[in-house]
Amino acid sequence: MNGKKKTPSAQHLLQEKVRDANLCTGCGACVNLCPYQAAYKDKIVILNDCDLQGGRCYAFCPRTPTSLESLKEKLFDPKDLTPEIGAIKSYHITRSTDENIRSQAQHGGTVTTLMKLALEQGIIDGAILAEGEGNLLAHGKTVTDPAEVIKFSKSKFINSSIVAEFHNAAKTDLQKLGAVAQPCQALALAKMRMKPIADNDANIDKLKLVVGLFCGWSLSWRDLSRLIESKANLESLFGMDIPPSKYKILELYTKQGTLEVSIDEVAACVNNACKSCFDMTAEFSDISVGSARLDEGWEVAKGWNQVIVRTDLGQQLIDLALSKGLLEERSIPEGNLDKLKWASMNKKKMAVECLSNISGTCQDLIYLDCRDPVLCTLLPENQA
């Protein structure tokens, strides 16, 4: 024996650097590539050991070392890039003109409208969406019929392994896939687009459209289930929503009426991985969509979406939806975009602080590059 230390496998590194460090988001980027890992409830689990050193599971994970600057330079027009919320081609407040879609959607029904239109126009032939499966859990599902999209309208608040479903769908005869993705999922897909494993691109060229969702954090299925069961019959729950932060509540929609839960109780259910996430607005998407903020208050605002268009394809799709009268838009309140930028930068700052605390030094941000021109301004020594 020469005493040479064995190089850790990709699976071993993923377990040590991501899962054991409470950084795993459950996005599913490491699932359905091989038989060794699987999504179980809202977690990723190892089924069998793997000794492959250059594994896609590690390369595609959104919580392994990533140069955000390089990704943005390759995926977006440099003149559209902003430090706070990534690329912006245009910014809108929109909602579906279809009252049936609006009544079933989480907010204005913009995401449902865009995915339905993309399927109808042949921009994509498969839409990867989050499907609820009861008891709050959700999983990724590929939809090919535009009429079926409306069934997937509600926000889930629990991680669903959307990227794992992409891996499955990419193995089929479908050639043009679109996905509705949380920020971590969109980042995983962006990393895949860079084809880090030269001899296997995982059919990433089939990915044609990503509609991103604004996301402050997702919730642990186990913790949220216990919390809701202490307030209401879980089987009577048909939806929930989180109003703007000033309200400090989670709204539970049950057959018996709406219940309000203190955000302090909900905070205990937040996934640990979300505390180290830098991205609130799904910056690695073609279009990003979130709930609107309007001067009239939450009761009006929750019927509308705010939309960031980031790519040429995203602009074409939103323009088409508006020209066909499928979406309507309203005036943007003064200062709206500035408030969104502030909130986004605040999340980046919290992520930098969290990662610095984990590593013990602000010079090690775990999966982020501390030399990134945006993130480096948030390091303690660079703060005014």
Contact between 180 and 162 (Cβ < 8 Å): yes
As a whole number of Å, the end-to-end CA separation of the chain is 55
Task: Report whether 190 contacts 87 (CB < 8 A).
Answer: no
Instruction: Report the sign of the C-alpha dihedral through residues 199, 200, 203, 204, in that order.
Output: negative
Tell me the C-alpha distance between 151 and 133, whole Å: 12
pTM summary value? 0.95
Q: How far apart are CA 165 and CA 189, in angstroms?
A: 12
Task: Please write the tens of the pLDDT for every residue from 41-82.
Answer: 889 999 999 999 889 999 999 999 999 999 999 999 999 999
Q: Measured between alpha carbons, how far is 217 from 278 in angstroms, rounded to an integer?
A: 11
Rounded Cα–Cα distance for residues 124 and 127 (Å): 7
> Tokens for 132?
């609820």
Overall average pLDDT of the 166-172 stretch: 96
Q: Which tokens go with 74?
A: 């390759």
Q: In 3-state terms, what secondary structure has residue 90? A: strand
Kindly report the average pLDDT of the chain as a whole number. Answer: 93
Q: What is the pLDDT of residues 180-205, one digit of tens each?
A: 999 999 999 999 999 998 766 779 99
Q: Please tell me the predicted confidence (pLDDT) of residue 383.
A: 63
Which tokens in the block code for residue 48? 């069998």
199-217 confidence digits (pLDDT tens): 667 799 999 999 999 999 9
Q: Is 99 exposed, middle or buried (0-12, 13-18, 19+ CB in 10 A)?
A: exposed
Assess whether pLDDT exceeds 80 at residue 7: yes
The bridge status of strand 287-291 relative to strand 207-213 is: parallel
